[in-house]
Structure 1
Amino acid sequence: MLFADDSIVFCRAIREECDRVLKVLKDYEGDSGQKLNKEKTSLYFSKNTSREIKEYVKEKFGAKVVQHPEKYLGLPPLVGRGKRKAFNRIKDQVGRKIACWKGKFLSHAGKEILIKAVAQATPTYTMSCFKLPNTLCKELNSLMGNFWWSQKDKERKMAWISWERLCTPKAEGGMGFRDLKAFNLALLAKQWWRMQQNPDSLVHRVLKEKYFPNSVASEAELGSRPSYAWRSIWASKKVVDRGSR
């Protein structure tokens, strides 16, 4: 997988493939004049890889071994059972931004712009690929709600209107903030709709081969042991079904 200056190389954990990958990289270095940066290179092994093979590959590459793959294009490459841990960086990003704003004297109009244009926009890219845990959405809403009501540090201030009411349109008495859970489903529903409308796309062909080889996307089932990406997109199926004809 190649994107800009980030690359992920997949191979079987055997000596022959390790040697072959090294040869390809050395040939590339010789032909291009570029050199592999081993300080920015990391190795990740599946759980069933023997210790002997791990030591062999590590010695050959001279790179560090990581327990969890690093981010790729800003997203976690693997999402296991610890979904909160995989997406906690979003809460950290939003929390840091809000912490910087709290010390400033801002009008309600200024707070509204920062919440809508920055805080609620931060997780948009991730939400278009994965369904965030409901607890994380609630915590993000709480961070933004506390900022809206001018709470600082651990102090408590009265929230005169619920966050759900603030998420309603201004014409209905709210502020038009996004309900992150609903917005997350809307972004995933857009992906599901695109997949249905573009059956020749790579993502449709890959998912069809794995999850619904003998049917169409609209009839697809979740299946057994699905990836979190498929589970997330499939969660929006009901939203599309209710809105399509």
Structure 2
Amino acid sequence: MDIVANPPHILHALFKLSPADLEVLITGVHAPSAAKDKIMLWNNLGENPPPSNTPWLLMGDMNEVVNQSEKMGGRPVTNSQGRDFSKMTDREGLIDMRYNGPTFTWNNGREGTELIRERLDRALANAEWLKVYPQTQISQPRTVNFAPREIVNNDDLEFLASEKVGEGNWDPIKIGHDVSISHLFYADDVFLFAKASVGNVNAIMEVLLEFGNKSGLFISPTKSKVIFPPKMCLSLKRAILSFSNIKGAPSFGKYLGVNISPNRLKIADYVDLLNKTKSRIKGWQAKLLNMASRCTLIKSVLNSYPLYVMQTTLLPNAVLEELERSCRRFLWNKVDKAHYLPRTSWDKVCLPLGLGGLGMRNLKNWNLVFMDKLGWRIIKEPDKLWVKILHARYFKRSTFLNCIPNSSDSPLWRDILKGKELLMKGITYRTGMERTFVFGFIIG
């Protein structure tokens, strides 16, 4: 561990858990209570972020309440509270990590109507951190105090689940002869899979209880859900819900503002994403920024909110066009005008800087490139679990490059196949002892 900086209220430390691991940055924060000091702190963090590819975890006492759900008692939370903190986290693409433990991390030590409780401690991570450590889990002590949080790995839970499956007490979901799924961990979320039976639910609850006794992290029934297939025996469904004491749900819900669904999402499903993206590009900001600053802000916004969704699905053209329309109006400082004459075409704006453009992204091309990237990973990373699942489901007797889309296929698979045409343009074959692929195609 190397302490790289220790300004007031902040401690930056670079870690390497092993010589082969990527270097990561963990920043500890103990924010001041004075509003002007906190603004200076968030500005300092925003002006001095780590390099773009560095996994970053920011954690500690932020001394900020962002919304009313993070406070109970006392004066209501105003719109201005936590605004500068939220701006900094949005700008740096930091995701607030959910955690196990009490909702509130501080109280004023009083009783009755004078009791005030707030969530002041939190941990946030950027996308690079979640890619390297997707199993990171944040644990808050069960007693409200000023102790910092600890990072808990899900290895123990994975061991207990695998042990139950090995004993035959937990029947995982089988995708093919060689692929089955019993559990997946991502960030602070845990997904458990099993055939629908009371016996399997009993095995899962035993695993969760044993894990809770060892770690102090117990399942929260109100924050958990059981998802069933569309066509299922109603009496079995009721028996499972009654035994687990967890509510049923038709889907996983939302992640980063977008529904997780096996079906093709409609334009209405992206309303939250559109509103959140456009709210970062406001009319009053255009009047305060010059052309270069507006361009930089647009790139920052497009590299945060829409980016996560575009990596896994093709967004509807209407959604992409609405995003680009908002960006164009903001760039030309015409947010409040329905009709205006741009200084040059958007296609030229999207050209690289070396070719006379502003380096903006053409969202349709960018979205297609992400599908192209997924196809490339299918070819180059056959041992990945998600690749094995797609292989067992869609091209077990063929190859990815020879697959033909079918109307009954999942929307994700059809989107990946749409990027295959672009992938084929960039693939060349290199002769040798074995057949290999070389990818060399770049699209703006």
Query: Structure 2 length as normaliser, TM-score?
Result: 0.50
Matching of residue 117 in structure 1 with residue 300 in structure 2: yes
What residue identity is the alignment partner of 2:406? G
What residue identity is the alignment partner of 1:178? R
Q: Is this contact kept in 1: 2:283–2:335, CA < 8 A? A: no
User: Structure 1, residues 203-239: CA drift from partner, whole Å, max 9, x if none?
Assistant: 3332222211122222122235212221121111110
Counterpart in 1 of 2:3? Answer: none
- Cα shift at 1:170: 4.3
The structure number with the bigger radius of gyration is 2
- Cα shift at 1:6: 0.8
1:32 aligned residue (201, 211, 215) = 215
Deviating more after overlay: 195-204 vs 180-189? 195-204
Counterpart in 2 of 1:138? Answer: 321
What residue identity is the alignment partner of 2:417? W
Could you say which structure has the greater relative contact order, defined with CA pairs below 8 angstroms and 6 or more residues apart? 1
Structure 1 residues 144 and 120: CA distance shift in structure 2, 3 A:
farther
- Structure 1 unaligned spans of 5+: none
- Structure 2 unaligned spans of 5+: 1-183, 429-444
Q: Is this contact kept in 2: 1:211–1:223, CA < 8 A? A: no
User: Structure 1, residues 9-54: CA drift from partner, whole Å, max 9, x if none?
Assistant: 1223333322332232223223333211122112222222333333
Q: Distance in 2 between matches of 1:23 and 1:170?
A: 58
Counterpart in 1 of 2:341? Answer: 159
Q: Distance in 2 between matches of 1:179 and 1:32?
A: 47
Looking at secondary structure, tell me which structure has more helix per residue: 1
What residue identity is the alignment partner of 2:418? A
Q: Is this contact kept in 2: 1:102–1:150, CA < 8 A? A: no
1:236 aligned residue (413, 419, 442) = 419
1:215 aligned residue (384, 395, 398) = 398
Query: Structure 1 length as normaliser, TM-score?
Result: 0.85
What residue identity is the alignment partner of 1:179? N
What residue identity is the alignment partner of 1:133? P
Matching of residue 95 in structure 1 with residue 304 in structure 2: no
Counterpart in 2 of 1:198? Answer: 381
Q: Is this contact kept in 2: 1:192–1:236, CA < 8 A? A: yes
Q: Is this contact kept in 1: 2:226–2:249, CA < 8 A? A: yes
Matching of residue 106 in structure 1 with residue 289 in structure 2: yes
Q: Is this contact kept in 2: 1:97–1:119, CA < 8 A? A: no
Q: Distance in 2 between matches of 1:100 and 1:8?
A: 41
Q: Distance in 1 between matches of 2:333 and 2:256?
A: 34
- Cα shift at 1:100: 7.7
Q: CA RMSD in A?
A: 2.6
User: Structure 1, residues 134-163: CA drift from partner, whole Å, max 9, x if none?
Assistant: 11111111111121222345x424132333
Q: Distance in 2 between matches of 1:223 and 1:171?
A: 41
2:309 aligned residue (126, 132, 137) = 126
* SS, match of residue 123 in structure 1: helix
Looking at secondary structure, tell me which structure has more strand per residue: 2
1:52 aligned residue (197, 214, 235) = 235
Q: Is this contact kept in 2: 1:222–1:231, CA < 8 A? A: yes
Q: Is this contact kept in 2: 1:102–1:152, CA < 8 A? A: no
What residue identity is the alignment partner of 1:41? S
- Cα shift at 1:2: 1.2
Structure 1 residues 46 and 214: CA distance shift in structure 2, 3 A:
closer
Structure 1 residues 38 and 104: CA distance shift in structure 2, 3 A:
farther
- Cα shift at 1:180: 0.3
What residue identity is the alignment partner of 1:90? L
Q: Residues 64-103 of structure 1: matches in 2 within 5 Å?
A: 64-71=247-254, 76-99=259-282, 102=285
2:199 aligned residue (16, 21, 24) = 16
Q: Is this contact kept in 1: 2:253–2:260, CA < 8 A? A: yes
Q: Distance in 1 between matches of 2:318 and 2:416?
A: 19
Q: Is this contact kept in 1: 2:198–2:243, CA < 8 A? A: no
